[in-house]
């Protein structure tokens, strides 16, 4: 009998949704030992021998995808552990920067992957490995303004992230507009008053010009 902690059993996996279905895979070293395809090969009159070939490729692709996710997340994990180690010794002398730069790593990449790992630690969603740089940056910068349910939705389906982020941005802007301090509101009112006075002055000038024309016409 397989040990549950060391085996992965995946059911009903569609080859077209390999990456998206990575949520069903636990991040660990073992490959898939038992795999059941949900693709309807009978519909395409595929014979058993060919079917075995395709199913083996499905399994192989799932394993490769698993390895990509695992590697991506582990890079962030290793970088995070080094950063924590240096911070614990109060070495704020640029050692961490010099260390990863010596490996040929760029600052933006390093901190992006650290943030990716930290988010994975919190939400345990493997598809965070696919999230774009913009998505990770946006979620980190606005984590206090976004509901956890919304963050999880974005991380679960990274390909739809841009659409969801656009909606969230609009909601954040709406909230900003609706929450105004008394001081700011007074400032806005004064600006409106000034604008009205400017309009009144312009209207006064226009009226005088018209009156002058009427006076000249009468003469």
pLDDT range class, residue 218, cuts 50, 70, 90: low
Instruction: Give the count of domains, the chain.
Output: 2
Q: pLDDT, tens digit, for every residue of 10-66? A: 333 332 343 344 344 333 444 556 788 999 999 999 999 899 999 999 999 988 888
Look at residues 55, 22, 57 and name the one whose alpha carbon lies nearest to residue 39.
Answer: 55
Would you say residue 9 has pLDDT above 70?
A: no
Which of 130, 160, 190 is the last residue before a domain boundary?
A: 130
Q: pLDDT, tens digit, for every residue of 91-114? A: 667 899 999 999 999 999 999 999
State which residues form the domain around 62: 9-130
pLDDT range class, residue 116, cuts 50, 70, 90: very high
Share of the chain above pLDDT 90, in %: 39
Same domain, 123 and 190: no
Same domain, 117 and 48: yes
pTM of full prediction above 0.85: no
């Amino acid at each position: 009998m397989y040990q549950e902690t060391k085996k992965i059993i995946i059911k009903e996996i569609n080859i077209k949704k390999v990456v998206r279905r990575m949520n069903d895979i636990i991040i660990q070293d073992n490959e898939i030992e038992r795999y059941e395809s949900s693709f309807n090969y009978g519909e395409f009159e595929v014979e058993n021998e060919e079917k075995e070939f395709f199913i083996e490729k499905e399994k192989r692709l799932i394993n490769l995808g698993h390895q990509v996710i695992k590697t991506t997340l582990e890079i962030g994990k290793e970088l995070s552990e080094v950063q924590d180690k240096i911070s614990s010794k109060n070495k704020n002398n640029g050692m961490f920067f010099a260390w990863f730069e010596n490996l040929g790593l760029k600052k933006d990449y390093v901190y992006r992957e650290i943030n990716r790992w930290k988010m994975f630690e919190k939400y345990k969603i493997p598809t965070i490995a696919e999230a774009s740089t913009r998505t990770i940056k946006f979620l980190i910068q606005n984590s206090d303004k976004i509901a956890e349910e919304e963050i999880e939705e974005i991380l679960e389906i990274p390909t739809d992230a841009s659409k969801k982020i656009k909606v969230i941005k609009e909601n954040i802007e709406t909230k900003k507009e609706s929450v105004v301090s008394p001081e700011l509101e007074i400032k806005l009112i004064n600006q409106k008053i000034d604008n009205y006075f400017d309009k009144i002055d312009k209207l006064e000038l226009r009226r005088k010009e018209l009156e002058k024309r009427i006076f000249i016409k009468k003469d």
